[in-house]
Amino acid sequence: MQENSNQTEMSREERRRLRKERQEKRRRRLDLRLSRRLVSALFLVWILISVFLLVFPRSKVSNIEKRELTKFPAFSVGAWFSGEFTDGVMTWYTDTVPFRDVFKNANNNLKSLFGISSGTTAEVIGNVKKVSDGSSEEGKSEETASAAKKDGGEDTAAASSAVSSSAESAPEASAADASAASAQEEEEETRDYHQEDAEGTFENGFVIVNLDGHWRGLPLFAGGECENYITFMNDLHDQLGDTVKIYSMPIPLASEYYLPANYSEYSVPQKACFEKVWAQLDEGIIPVDVTDTLDRHKEEEIYLRTDHHWTALGAYYSAEKLAEAAGVPFASLDSYNRQSVDGYVGSLYGYTQSSNLLNDPETFVWYEPVPAVEADHYDTSFNYQYTDGLIMETDVPNSYLRFMGTDDQIVKVRTSVKNGRKLLMLKDSYGNAEIPFLTGSFEEIYVVDQRYFTRNLPEFIRQLGITDFVFSCDSDTVANQVVTSLDQLMTQDAGSAVIDDAPAQNAGTAEDMGKEEAV
C-alpha cells in the first residue's frame, strides 16, 4: 500500500513538473510568436515615420513662429570640421519637418495635458521676476548663464526668452512682405524676416489668464529708467524748438488693465512710469495720456487677447486723445466701415506656445476710413516704392498687418482733410493701428518706425514741413526694452536733402507699378 501511494505521489510530482515544463515551453513559444508580430508592427510604424520624414516636402516657414525655417547647411571642409555642417543638418532635419506647424500645435495640445490652467490659476510663461520701483530685481535675465550651465533642451523658458528677443519686430518684420505677397498669393521668395534687427524683449515673461471665460496673454512690464527716450525727446525739442508741436504718447501694455492682483508684484505699473517720464521732459513737449481713457473702456475689446498688440478700438480711443491735444478735428467711430475676421490667433501663441491661446481664437476687428484712403510706401531711406490702400489685405494669422503692412518702411498717408496740419508719427508696431483714425484729423501723415529709418529725423521733419510730431509707442519701447537706436535718429545721415520722389497723387496702384519694385 505504502509503495503504491509513494509511487502515486512521485508520479503526481512528476506530472506537476512535466506540466509546468510544458506550460513554460508553450509560454516561451507564445512569447516568441507575439514578440515577432509585435516587433514587426512596431518596425512598420517606425519605418513609415522614417519614410514620411524623408519623402514628404520639407516645411519652409512657420506661421506660428513667424519665421523662415532653417535651410540645409552649405557643405565645406571648414564647416565639417567646426561641426557647423553636422549640427546644421540635424537642426534642419527637425526644424523643417513636413507639416511642422501641425505638429507644433499637436505638441502644445499635448503639453496642455501636463497640468491645469483654469479661471483661477493663470499660466505663467518665461522668467517671471518680481519687480520693484520700476525695475526688475535681477536686472537682465541670466538666460545665457543658464544656457552655459546646462545645455538644457530648448524649453519654453529659453525659447520664449530667446524668441521674445524678436518680440516687437518679428511679427511685423517677419511678415515684412507678407501683406504684399499675400495680395499676389505668393509666399516664399518675398519674405524677409528682419530677425537680426529686432532686439525687443519681453524680459519679464508672460501671464496667461482666463477672464470671463476667455484666455488672455499678458506680457509683463519689466520697467526701466527710460533715459534714452527722455534724452531723445528733449534733444528733438531742442533742435526743432516750438516750430513743431511735439507729443509724447506712450501706450500701456495690456497687463496694466488685466493683470490679476496676485501677480501685481511681477509687472511695473505703467501709468506711474509714464508720469515719471513726463516729469523729466522739457516744458514744450505735450504729454498725451491715454491710460485713463483706456481704463474707462477696458471692458470693451481694446486689447487683443492672443497677440501682444492692442485692437483697432483701443487705438481709436487713444487717437482721439491725440486729436484733442493737437486741436484737430476727429472722425467718430461710426463714420468708419467696420470689418472683421474670425479665428485669429496672434503672436502670443508663437511666443508662449500656450494651447489655451491656440484653442481660443478671437475675432479681429478693424475700421476702414470712408472714403478709402491711399498711402504711399517708401523704403527706410525714403525712396518711393509704390502706392496702395491704407488698409491692406492679409491672411487671418497676419491680421495686424492690415494697418499699412510691415514696419520696415516709411508710409505717407494722404487724406482729404485740408487744414495744413502734417503729422509725423514715430512709432513701434502699436502706432500702426492708430493711423486709420487720424485720417480725419491731419492733411498728411508720415509714419516712421523708430527701428527702420535711415534718414536724419530733425532734418526730415523740417524739410517736409511737419507741423506735429508724435512718438507713439508701447511701454517696452519707452523703457528701452527694445533696440535703442533713438540717438542715431538724431545724428545719422545729417546734411542730406529730403526729396519726395513719389509721383503726383492718383498716379497708380501697386498693380500698375509692379510689385517687383516693392520687393
Partner 1 sequence: MVFADLFFLFFFLPLCLLCYYHADRLRTRNIILIVFSLIFYAWGEPTWVILLVFSAFFNWFMGLQIGRFREERTGRILLAAALVVDLAFLLVFKYTGFFLETINGILRTSIPIPSIRLPIGISFFTFQAISYILDCYWETVEPQKKFYRFLVYLSFFPQLIAGPIVRYSVIEKELTKRKTTAVDMYEGAQRVIVGLAKKVILANNLYVIVDRFFGSGVNGMSMLGTWFVVIVYSMYVYFDFSGYSDMAIGMGRMFGFHFDENFNYPFMCQTIAEFWQRWHISLGSFFRDYLLYVPIFGKRRMYLSLFLVWFCTGMWHGASWNFILWGLYFGCFIFFEQKLGKKKIKAWPVWWKHIYSKLVIIIGFGIFYFENLRDLGRFFLNITGISMLTGSGGFADPITWAAFVNNIFLVIAALLFCFPLIPKCREWYVNNQDDAIFRIGKIGSMVLCLLLLVCSSIMLVDTTNNPFLYWRF
Comparing CB distances to partner 1, the nearer of 91 and 135 is 91
Per-residue x/- mask for partner 1, residues 229 to 268, rule CB under 8 A? ---------------------------------xx--x--
Q: Which of 4, 81, 212, 505 binds partner 1 (CB under 8 A)?
A: 81
HSE-CB at 65 with a 13 A cutoff on CA atoms is 25
Nearer to partner 1 by Cβ, of 82 and 509: the residue is: 82
Q: Which three cell numbers stand for residue 276?
A: 515719471
Would you give the end-to-end CA distance of the chain in angstroms? 108
Return the H-helix or E-strand segment holding 324. Answer: helix 312-326
Is 46 a residue that touches partner 1 (CB under 8 A)? yes
Composition of the chain by helix, strand, coil, percent to 5: 45, 15, 40
Beta-bridged to residue 17, according to DSSP, are none
Are 73 and 47 in contact by the 8 Å Cβ rule? The answer is: no
Fill in the DSSP letter of residue 370.
Answer: S
Q: How many CA atoms lie within 13 A of 284 on its CB side?
A: 16
Give yes or no for residue 115 binding partner 1 (CB under 8 A). Answer: yes
Q: State which residue, 138 or 379, has the beta carbon closest to partner 1.
A: 138
Which distant-in-sequence residues (6+ apart) come within 8 Å of 311 by Cβ? 301, 302, 303, 304, 364, 365, 433
Residue from 3, 133, 137, 512 in contact with partner 1 (CB under 8 A): 137
Q: Which of 61, 66, 67, 95 binds partner 1 (CB under 8 A)?
A: 95
- For partner 1, which is the closer residue by CB, 42 or 370? 42
Stretch that binds partner 1, among 30-38, 172-180, 210-218, 421-429 (CB under 8 A): 30-38
Residue 340's closest CA among 321, 320, 359, 368? 368
- Nearest distance from residue 108's CB to partner 1, in Å? 8
Strands (E), 110-244: 123-125, 131-132, 135-136, 206-211, 214-219
- Strand ranges (DSSP E) for 296-429? 337-344, 362-368, 374-378, 384-389, 410-414, 422-427
Binders of partner 1 among residues 343 to 372 (CB under 8 A) are 353
- Residue 116 within binding range of partner 1, rule CB under 8 A: yes
Q: How far is the CB of 36 from partner 1 (least distance, A)?
A: 4
Q: Is 31 in the site for partner 1 (CB under 8 A)?
A: yes
Told to check if 22 binds partner 1 by CB under 8 A, we report no
Site for partner 1 in 184-223 (CB under 8 A): 207
DSSP category for residue 438? G
Q: Which of residues 265-324 bind partner 1 (CB under 8 A)?
A: 266
Q: Which of 18, 45, 370, 507 binds partner 1 (CB under 8 A)?
A: 45
Cell of 196: 537680426
Position 519 contacts partner 1 (CB under 8 A) = no
Does position 91 bind partner 1 by CB under 8 A? yes
Minimum CB–partner distance for residue 332 and partner 1 (Å): 42
Q: Is residue 497 a contact residue for partner 1 (CB under 8 A)?
A: no
CB of 15 to partner 1, least distance (A): 16
> In angstroms, what is the minimal distance from the CB of 228 to partner 1?
24
Beta-carbon contacts of residue 265 (< 8 Å; ≥ 6 apart): 130, 131, 132
What are 222's three cell numbers? 519689466
511 binds partner 1 (CB under 8 A): no
Indicate whether 130 belongs to the interface with partner 1 (CB under 8 A).
yes
- Give least dist CB 123 to partner 1, A: 5
Q: How far is the CB of 120 from partner 1 (least distance, A)?
A: 9
50 lies in the site for partner 1, by CB under 8 A = yes
Q: Which amino acid is at 416?
A: S
The residue among 361, 370, 311 whose CA lies nearest residue 64 is 361
Write down the least CB distance from residue 165 to partner 1, Å: 15
The interface with partner 1 within residues 149-188 (CB under 8 A) comprises: 149-158
- Judged by beta carbon, residue 70 or residue 454, the one nearer partner 1 is 70
Q: Cell numbers at residue 384, please?
A: 518711393
Exactly one of 18, 47, 162, 494 binds partner 1 (CB under 8 A); that residue is 47
- Give residues 416-475 in contact with partner 1 (rule: CB under 8 A): none
For partner 1, which is the closer residue by CB, 260 or 284?
260
Residue of 41, 162, 333, 499 that binds partner 1 (CB under 8 A): 41
Contact, 58 vs 71, CB < 8 A?
Answer: no
Among 7, 15, 22, 30, binds partner 1 (CB under 8 A): 30
Of positions 6, 10, 17, 39, contacts partner 1 by CB under 8 A: 39
Strand partners, 217: 208
Contacting range for partner 1; rule: CB under 8 A; set: 130-138, 166-174, 319-327, 402-410: 130-138
Q: What are phi and psi of 217, to 5 degrees?
A: -90, 130
Residue 286 pairs with which residues in a beta bridge? 247
Q: Is 128 left (phi over 0), alpha (psi -120 to 50) or beta?
A: beta
Taking alpha carbons only, the member of 66, 87, 307 closest to residue 192 is 66
